[in-house]
Amino acid sequence: DVTQLLHLVDKVPRIKGIRGRARQRPDRIYADRGYDFDKYRRELPTRGITPVIARRGVPHGSGLGTRRWVVEQTIALPYWFRRLRTRWEIRDDIHEAFLTLACVLICWRRLQRSKS
């Protein structure tokens, strides 16, 4: 992961909004201690991105946990479905179909909860 951060940032697709020009990159990147390298702290601002990276050797309490929880919870949601926990399908298209179906069900359940 760590070695691919800058490549990943460079490959971020255009973000289309309702108004204004399309943005190329996010304003900030939130990262944990694994990304605490001076190289990234120097390179990200040259790309117009503010790095918010937890420091090594500092006790917890950086405040990144509240934002990281959202990302980690989103990644964990599809694993509620037993079929996706262990990949049984050999074909990629079938696995992607089950993943899409799981995402639809997750969104539908969240919308049902927010209505009531």
Tell me: pLDDT of 21 over 80: no
% pLDDT > 90, the chain: 14
pLDDT of amino acid 67: 66
Q: DSSP readout, the chain? A: -GGGHHHHHHTPPPB--SSSSPBSS-SEEEE-GGG--HHHHHHHHHTT-EEEEPPTTS-S-SSTHHHHHHHHHHHHGGGGSHHHHTT--SSHHHHHHHHHHHHHHHHHHHHHHHH-
pLDDT of amino acid 86: 84
> Domains of the chain: which residue ranges?
1-63, 64-116
| pTM, rounded to two decimals | 0.54
Tell me: pLDDT of 36 over 80: yes
Report pLDDT digits (tens) over 44-93. 999 888 888 888 877 766 566 666 677 778 878 888 888 888 888 889 99
Nearest-angstrom CA–CA distance, 96 and 27: 30
